[in-house]
């Protein structure tokens, strides 16, 4: 059996910088038509010059592939209307990080409420710029996302014309909130559709399954599966593929992030096939995102074949999700 996907999109991708960028970027550009590129680099992308330079680096690393890097800006409270007007055509969204909540987010927002964010969000709403949010508080690790849900709701009510994307949702509470407001959307990762906290820490600790937000309970995963497998029009695929060198993962102070980019489409096909939902995969990995962001990606046909494939033990110095495991789909291009 063969399956064709047209212009698959990854709506949440980390490409890092320098040598890591050169290793991982081609692994996404080979199979995806485009991706939203996260701005939490060092330093974070907050000026037009930084953004254009980073985009050029990505295009150089992916040269020869049909691939569009959809750029994002790191949220700051002091962006002027003039600045956002000048950069609007170069970005697809602006990403808000709570300060210190994840990798390279120390320069994020320390106070997240309607009034403190109003100046920038009103401009974004007027200009039609999408807001992406890493939605976690600094509370108990299993409760951080659920505790952020009231903030999502408050922002959705206060800025009804602003499209707000709840990034990498992991809880039933987020899934329920998503359906309450017309202007709330969400990305869902591959790994949160596959694993729960038990896979991470139920036996021997698995550092390559440690990420933020951390995987949650089985009932949370079921809520995500319900949305993704049925390609609910408010959700789209965003891998949150986050590469770290093996030395940073298998170490004290294990870095947060799961690397899924090179095997994401194969594992999604396996999952959707297992649940007899393959007909919905195209919408989840492309069509929904095109509608939510009002984009038309370059045409790119990816063919997957249902046959055994062994995931490599590493890509460069990065260990992928499910390394060395046999899976049921392979890319046939």
Question: pLDDT, tens digit, for every residue of 102-161?
Answer: 888 888 888 888 999 999 999 999 999 999 999 999 999 999 999 999 999 999 999 999
Q: Give the separation between CA 107 and CA 156, rounded to whole angstroms.
A: 24
The structural domain count of the chain equals: 1
Identify the burial level of 230 via C-beta atoms within 10 angstroms of its C-beta, where 0-12 means exposed, 13-18 middle and 19 or more buried: middle
Give me the residues paired with residue 13 across strands: 37, 241
- Written as six digits, the tokens of 198 are 């038990």
Sequence-ordered list of residues with C-beta below 8 angstroms from that of 190, at least 6 positions apart, any chain: 237, 239, 260, 264, 267, 268, 321
Picking from 208, 190, 179, the residue whose alpha carbon sits closest to that of residue 318 is: 208
What's the confidence (pLDDT) of residue 105? 87
Q: Give the separation between CA 207 and CA 261, rounded to whole angstroms.
A: 18
What's the confidence (pLDDT) of residue 315? 97
Sheet-wide strand order for 301-305: 2-6, 301-305, 330-331
Q: Give the separation between CA 126 and CA 121, rounded to whole angstroms.
A: 9
Catalytic residue check, 240 = yes
Q: Give the separation between CA 171 and CA 159, rounded to whole angstroms.
A: 23
What's the DSSP call for residue 287?
Answer: I
Report CA 326 to chain centroid distance, whole Å: 25
What is the CATH number for 248? 3.20.20.140
3-state percent helix, strand, coil for the chain, nearest multiple of 5: 40, 15, 45
pTM score above 0.85: yes
What's the confidence (pLDDT) of residue 94? 98
Which one of the listed residues 10, 78, 240, 332 is annotated catalytic?
Answer: 240
Picking from 4, 9, 14, the residue whose alpha carbon sits closest to that of residue 66 is: 9
Give the chain's mean pLDDT.
97
What's the confidence (pLDDT) of residue 45? 97
- Written as six digits, the tokens of 311 are 């995931």
What's the confidence (pLDDT) of residue 285? 98
What's the confidence (pLDDT) of residue 307? 96
Residue spans of the chain under pLDDT 50: none
Report CA 173 to chain centroid distance, whole Å: 19
Q: Give the separation between CA 303 and CA 110, rounded to whole angstroms.
A: 45
Q: What are phi and psi of 54, to 5 degrees?
A: -65, -40
């Amino acid at each position: 059996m063969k399956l064709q996907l047209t212009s698959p999109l990854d709506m949440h991708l980390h490409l890092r910088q320098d040598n890591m960028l050169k290793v991982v970027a081609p692994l996404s550009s080979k199979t995806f038509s485009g991706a939203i590129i996260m701005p939490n680099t060092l330093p974070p992308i907050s000026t037009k010059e930084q953004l254009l330079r980073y985009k050029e680096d990505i295009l150089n690393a992916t040269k020869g592939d049909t691939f569009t890097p959809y750029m994002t800006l790191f949220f700051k409270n002091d962006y002027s209307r003039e600045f956002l007007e000048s950069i609007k055509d170069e970005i697809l969204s602006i990403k808000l990080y709570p300060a210190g909540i994840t990798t390279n987010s120390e320069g994020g927002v320390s106070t997240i409420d309607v009034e403190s964010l109003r100046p920038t969000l009103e401009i974004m709403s007027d200009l039609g710029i999408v807001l992406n949010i890493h939605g976690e508080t600094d509370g108990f690790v299993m409760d951080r996302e659920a505790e952020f849900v009231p903030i999502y709701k408050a922002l959705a009510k206060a800025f009804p014309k602003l499209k707000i994307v709840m990034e990498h949702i992991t809880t039933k509470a987020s899934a329920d909130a998503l359906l309450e407001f017309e202007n709330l959307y969400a990305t869902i990762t591959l790994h949160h559709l596959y694993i729960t906290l038990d896979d991470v820490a139920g036996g021997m600790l698995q550092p390559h399954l440690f990420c933020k937000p951390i995987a949650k309970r089985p009932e949370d995963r079921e809520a995500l599966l319900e949305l993704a497998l049925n390609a609910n029009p408010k959700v789209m695929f965003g891998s949150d593929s986050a590469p770290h060198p093996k030395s940073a993962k298998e170490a004290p102070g294990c870095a947060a992030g799961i690397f899924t980019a090179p095997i994401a489409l194969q594992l999604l096909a396996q999952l959707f096939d297992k649940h007899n939902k393959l007909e919905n995969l195209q919408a989840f990995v492309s069509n929904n995102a095109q509608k939510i962001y009002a984009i038309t990606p370059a045409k790119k046909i990816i063919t997957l074949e249902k046959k055994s494939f062994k995931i490599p033990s590493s890509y460069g110095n990065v260990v992928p999700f499910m390394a060395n495991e046999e899976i049921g789909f392979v890319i046939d291009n």
